[in-house]
Structure 1
Amino acid sequence: MRFTFISSAVALVASTMILRGAEAQQLCNGYAELCAKTYDQVVYATTHNAYAYTPPGALAANQNNDIPTQLKDGIRAFMLDAYNLPSGATNDIELCHSYCSLLDAGPLSKVLGQFKTFMDQNPNEVISIFWENAANLTPARFQSVYQAAGLTPYLYTQTSGSTTWPTLASMISSKKRLLNFVDSGADASVPWLMAEYDFIFETPYQITKGSEYPCTIDRPKGQERGMYVMNHFISGQVTVGDQTFDVPQSAIVEQTNGPDLASHANKCTETFNKIPNFVAVDFYEQGSVLQTVAQLNGVSWNGQAPTPAAGTKKSAAAGKIVGASSVVVGLAAAAAAAAFAL
């Protein structure tokens, strides 16, 4: 009887230790299976114009949720646009969409502070940022803002020309888990601000309603790289004077981010013989973006549903415009007139 009791106790302790071991299993970007994969073998849910979420319902907005919410929901790559501050000061960078009078999301320093908070509190996450250097800013401008935000310890650098990437687990272990790519202006003075097209190509980004989703190499033109961005968002073209603007199409996003997304990803995987690394979308919380990314990664979706947007349902005709310039006012009128034709 005593032997049975001891055996039962040992079995209970063993099972408890196994359970605790399973609970303590490292997760990398939310999944244990991703830890052993190298950075270039992983698919990342990516928000197009991640900063363009304010004011709610703005015609030029590409997202409904702010960046802290995007991070919480599982977005792991972010597309940002760099502009000069409207004041002309050089101690920060402004996040704007096409023109700061069209959509101005404020200074980069605020957003980098949000990234810093998240990364401090979530040590098992690898984050990527894609910069459209719209104002041709120098790498030194970026470096000063990143340093002020306290992000320097997290910055990862990949040697140009290298095709060997570390695993997510090793990046997490080294704490070098924030990657930054810039479309133009990179130089050796700031090595962590990496030239995007040395490592990555992109599929076309100007996709209009009703057109076929492309799986061709748009940038750098005709030059394949080890990784790629699959741009997957629908825009309506609106022209005011000699300026053409892309207006996000939120009314069809359930289809765009649902069946169309899976179909586009399958098509590009077959075309390029490799999965897309960065799946870039508008209004990520609608459709099945996170489920599709999990499937591409070969893992069972963890069930973490994205945060629903609060009262920001909008159409191109009803969208709001920020700013009072004649260009912006004209854009609002043109977009409203064009909405019914898209």
Structure 2
Amino acid sequence: MRTPHALLATTVTAAALAATVVAPAPAAAAPSPGAYYVQSATTGLNAADASGAVEQHRPRGDEDRQRWNLGADGTLENTDSPGACLGRAGDQARTVACASPEARWEITSAGPDRFALTVPGTDRRLTVAPGSSGAGRPAPLAVGSGTGDLAAWYLTPVDPVTRPVPPQDRRTLDQVTFLTAHNAYANGVDGGFAPPFVDLFPNQRRGIERQLADGVRGFMLDIHQTPDGAILCHNSCTLVSRPVALWVDLQRIVDFLRAHPDQFVTVFLEDYVDPGVLRAELARVQGLSDVLYRPDRTGVRENGWPTMGQLTAAGHRLLIFTDHGRAADQAAGTTRDAFGVMYQREWTVENHWSMGPGVGASDWSCYSRWYDAGAGIPLTRTEPGFRPLFVMNHFRDTTITSTAGTDNSKLADRARRFCQPAARKKPNYLAVDRYDLGDPAAAVTALNTYAYP
């Protein structure tokens, strides 16, 4: 029940991008004493105290006993259980008395910003047990002779040191947070989007043009293939009255960008069409090529993201992502990035799409949507010189007005307390239902006051 995301983007010349070159990260210095999450470099999940066992769990901020105080002696005391430290019993990770020799670790660099937790005087390390690295389930941690990423850990500060964000034109794209409308097309204003019963629970209540005027800059759109082309529908276009074509909403966005040359928009496509159909649909959008941003052609992966000033100067301010897989397109002989649609998993990370049903209990944990889906992409993924953009989903299975308003009022809290440390980066897209409720724009404004890390 998840919709593609819309991103605002712009292209930049290679010469302009040279100004944003990121130097290779140095090996990690020894961490200072303080409160940390002990986070797997493989899965992005956190070490948690589970009644004496130490397991990897989905990141949940200050809940679920996942915070550890690093002492000068190499101990890691659980903040919820004074006197109980992350230690070992044989080949299993356990919580033990902090005074025990089994609670001490030698913490050394395991690469840029990564650490190994080694039993002093041995080659035995804290490790994710082979075969238990799935991101969606708890799994006991082990102590053994593991090497590589399974034995590499981030020590993510509970209270990170942030810095003031640069002025608007000098902020790089990955330093900016955008308000994003989940299922932006499912609004009951622009046209039909689902069979009548589903129409009773629109994800939004305002049309695309109003969303743009209100400051929405990311648009998640589901597209399905019909004889008429790529149509915006939820799950299926059967029984949908007055369906809207993708090109119609893209034209609205392009027209907005032409009228507002300092703005940037991103579109996320939940994509169920053949590449040839999508290409033909984009060809109908007048002026698209003038604003389309192509990070694959401007050295982003080598040099990092450009500044907003560079994107504005280049005039290319619309970034389009697809959640379709590259491999399937290669097998068919046409890739979508050949005509300017980027494969989202190559450029972004994204947390699981739902916090639970529309009413009742919620799950605020923040973990990768793409780890167990054949991609193995943790939220913490990064590359030398390049940080993926972070799409933070914050909505339920079903849109209930009262629930959406309450959830949106807690958006900034979840972003900072749960999702930012889970991804080790600030969210770039805050995707919500009913953006008109609970003031999610205030959360966007708050996140845009600082840079992390």
Q: Same fold (TM over 0.5)?
A: yes
Out of 197, 213, 223, the residue aligned to residue 72 of structure 1 is 213
Out of 246, 250, 254, the residue aligned to residue 108 of structure 1 is 246
- Range with greater deviation from structure 2 (272-281 or 202-211): 202-211
What percentage of aligned pairs have identical amino acids? 29
- 1:61 correspondence with 2:202: yes
What's the CA shift for 1:163? 5.7
Secondary structure, counterpart of 1:268 in structure 2: helix
CA distance in 1, matches of 2:439, 2:315: 31
Which digits, 9 at most, give the CA deviation of each residue in 1:183-214, with x for residues without a partner?
A: 11452662520010001111111221412212
- 1:175 correspondence with 2:315: yes
Q: Which residue of 2 aligns with 1:332?
A: none
Gaps of 5+ in 1: 1-30, 236-246, 300-342
Which digits, 9 at most, give the CA deviation of each residue in 1:95-132, with x for residues without a partner?
A: 00112236564111221221122111111001100011
- Trace 1:194-213 onto structure 2 (pairs within 5 A): 194-208=342-356, 209-213=360-364
Secondary structure, counterpart of 1:101 in structure 2: coil
- 1:43 correspondence with 2:177: yes
Q: Which amino acid aligns with 1:54?
A: G
What's the CA shift for 1:146? 2.2
CA distance in 2, matches of 1:220, 1:153: 35
Q: TM-score, normalised by structure 1?
A: 0.68
- Check 1:191–1:149 CA distance in 2 against 1; reply closer, same or farther (3 A cut): closer
CA distance in 1, matches of 2:370, 2:283: 30
- Contact preservation (8 Å) 1:60, 1:102: no
- Contact preservation (8 Å) 2:279, 2:339: no
What's the CA shift for 1:149? 1.3
- 1:153 correspondence with 2:290: yes
Q: CA RMSD in A?
A: 2.3
CA distance in 2, matches of 1:40, 1:272: 13
- Contact preservation (8 Å) 2:218, 2:266: yes
Q: Which amino acid aligns with 1:109?
A: W
- Check 1:255–1:94 CA distance in 2 against 1; reply closer, same or farther (3 A cut): same
Which digits, 9 at most, give the CA deviation of each residue in 1:43-98, with x for residues without a partner?
A: 1110000000015993241000000000011111100111113xx24xx3100011
- Check 1:265–1:103 CA distance in 2 against 1; reply closer, same or farther (3 A cut): farther
Q: Which residue of 2 aligns with 1:310?
A: none
CA distance in 2, matches of 1:84, 1:143: 12
What's the CA shift for 1:286? 0.7
Which digits, 9 at most, give the CA deviation of each residue in 1:272-311, with x for residues without a partner?
A: 2211111100000111211100100107xxxxxxxxxxxx
Give the structure with the larger strand fraction.
Answer: 2
Which digits, 9 at most, give the CA deviation of each residue in 1:215-239, with x for residues without a partner?
A: 111125442252211110122xxxx
Q: TM-score, normalised by structure 2?
A: 0.52
Secondary structure, counterpart of 1:74 in structure 2: coil
Secondary structure, counterpart of 1:197 in structure 2: helix
- Check 1:292–1:188 CA distance in 2 against 1; reply closer, same or farther (3 A cut): closer
CA distance in 1, matches of 2:302, 2:201: 37
- Contact preservation (8 Å) 1:124, 1:172: yes
Gaps of 5+ in 2: 1-164, 192-197, 327-334, 383-387
- Check 1:113–1:227 CA distance in 2 against 1; reply closer, same or farther (3 A cut): closer
